[in-house]
Amino acid sequence: MTPEIVDRVDQPYVAVQKLVTTDTIPEIADRFGEVFGWLAERGIAPVDTPFFRYNVIDMEANHLDMEAGVPVDAVVSGEGDIIAGVLPGGRYVTVTHTGHPSELVGVTARLLEWAHERKLSWDMVDMPSGERWGCRLELLLTDPNEQPDMSLWETRLQFRLAH
């Protein structure tokens, strides 16, 4: 694992959002089809890989406020369950993992420890409802339709640093 710090520019996107637990993440993961369908109906092409965004993480209560999103080239208006937003630009710590998604808990822990050892500060605030992240992403680099073997999936973690 070799994390690095990268700069990202603001990135418009559309997504669905849901409060899930670690056991019910498939409830949001299974909704990517809705997002891609909504884009297709409007003739809007995705411009990058789909992602999960973790807005609030409360591991003690096992609550995750998550989005399943797709980057687009310009800001659009959401509709119904589809929300629109902008992933904020800035400095991000990133690492790419190849392996089963269940391994991401350990990869994430190592990434957080790597940043802690370097005294880096996250764009994150501890709140009673959990950790509220400015931008914490899992970029899904592998299309499950093209690669059904989950042990070969590539996922890039990108967590925004504080200013």
Q: How far apart are CA 27 and CA 35, in angstroms?
A: 14
**CB neighbours (10 Å) of residue 16?**
20
Which H helix or E strand runs over 51?
strand 51-58
| Alpha-carbon distance values, 142 to 27, 57, 75, 99, 157 (Å) | 19, 24, 25, 11, 13
Rounded mean pLDDT, 82-90 = 98
Q: Give me the half-sphere count of Cα atoms (radius 13 Å) on the Cβ side of residue 41.
A: 9
Domain residue spans of the chain? 4-160
Rounded mean pLDDT, 59-67 = 94
Q: How confident is the model at residue 66 (pLDDT cuts 50, 70, 90)?
A: very high
For 10-56, how does the pLDDT look when each residue is reduced to its tens digit (9 = 90+)? 999 999 999 999 999 999 999 999 999 999 999 999 999 999 999 99
pLDDT value at residue 53: 98
Q: How far apart are CA 159 and CA 111, in angstroms?
A: 9
* pTM for this entry: 0.95
The CATH number for 4-160, chosen from 3.40.1380.20, 3.40.50.150, 3.40.50.1260, 3.20.80.10, is 3.20.80.10
pLDDT value at residue 143: 93
pLDDT(149) > 90: yes
